[in-house]
Every structure is written in C-alpha cells, then in structure tokens.
Amino acid sequence: MATVLYITAHPHDHQTSFSMAVGKQFIESYRDAHPRDEVITLDLYKQDIPHIDADVFSGWGKLRSGSSFDQLSASEKSKTGRLNEIVEQYVAADKYVYVSPMWNFSFPPILKAYIDAICIAGKTFKYTESGPVGLLTDKKAIHIQASGGVYSEGPAASFESGHSYLKKIMQFHGVSSLEGIFVEGMAATPDQAESIKDKAIAKAKEAAKSF
C-alpha cells in the first residue's frame, strides 16, 4: 500500500478551475486503479503553512546551537513545529500529485510557501562534499498545470516557470522524474476550452492507472 499526497494550490474548486477539474478526475481514477492506497488531500489554501521568517530562523538557530524545543519562544515553537510536521508528512508519503494554475508564468505563492516548508536539509536532501544530494529517491511525482496560453512548448515556452521550477525541486530532492499534464490554451482559444479540458482529463485518467 502506498501513501499519496494530493496537493492542490488553487482557491477555486473543480467546477471553476481547469486544473482542479483535471486533478479531480486524475485522483478519482487513481483511487479506482489503486484501491488499497491511501490518498491524503492537502488543499494548500486551507493549510497552516508558516512562511520562513525571523521567528523560524531564530528558532532553527537556537535548535542548532543545542537549545531544546521547550526553550524556544511561543512563536518559534509554533512555526518551527508546524514546519517539521509538514516535512515529516511529505517524507512519509510515497507519491506526490501537484495541481496548480499558472499565474504570471509561475504558480500561486501558497505553493512556493509549501515548497519552502519541504526543502529541509536532513529531511528531503543533504549536503555533501560534492554538493547537495536528494534523499527522496524512491518517490514518484506528477504535476497538473493549467494556463490560459500555451507554455509547455512553442514560442512562449521560455516564459514557463511553474512546472520547470517544480521539476528542479523534485530533482533536488532525488525524485528522478516529474510527469507533466498540461491544460493550456483556453484563454487563447476559448471556443476550444472544453475540448482542451476533455483531452487533458483523458490523459490524466490514463496516467493515473500506472502512477
């Protein structure tokens, strides 16, 4: 049995969002194909994800210097403790499904906050004399991304900074591959929006079977 984190980064649901609509079909198909697996849904807009700020840095610094967790201030305890919960949950999972829209060539800031929370030395990667090494070499990941224009290929591909950034993070963590399912071009060709979504859903359902 595998544990899957279904990580969504959109304030709207599947009835309004193209990425969420495709994500919903993917995870439903995944559950049908892998009924024994546990799927944990993380709606990042409903999660407590502390930003890495002065409290976090000071708390981490005190812990590295030998202070006990009980010696931290209340805000340091709250934030560093929550960040530890997030990364421990992430490390314990076997597969990751990311669902996000493209906003201004990247993804919503809530997803960046989550990525910051899981990029923890000693948990998802480690430093060595030859450089950082990822620790999640036995994991799998897939990313469903929607955008109004076409950015996965063609003349605007160089502007794409969402999936490409997430791919770098996965590689940094040791995840060997990140499959992308792109729902794109709906704003550029609104008359084809439903057809684009349907094709992406069909691809997502097929990908879910072997994920």
Residue 125, annotated ligand binder? no
Residue 105, annotated ligand binder? yes
The structure tokens 């729902």 sit at: 183
State the Cα–Cα distance between residues 79 and 73, nearest whole angstrom: 10
Residue 147, annotated ligand binder? no
Side-chain-facing half-sphere of 42: CA atoms under 13 Å: 24
Residue 84, annotated ligand binder? no
Burial category of 139 from C-beta neighbours within 10 Å (exposed 0-12, middle 13-18, buried 19 and up): buried
State the Cα–Cα distance between residues 63 and 3, nearest whole angstrom: 30
Residue 102, annotated ligand binder? yes
Provide the b/e sequence for 77-114 (b: ≥16 CB within 10 Å).
Answer: ebbbeebeebbeebeebebbbbbbbbeebbbbebbebb
Residue 17, annotated ligand binder? yes
State the Cα–Cα distance between residues 105 and 189, nearest whole angstrom: 18
Q: Which residues belong to the annotated binding site for FMN?
A: 17-19, 102-105
Q: Which residues belong to the annotated binding site?
A: 17-19, 102-105
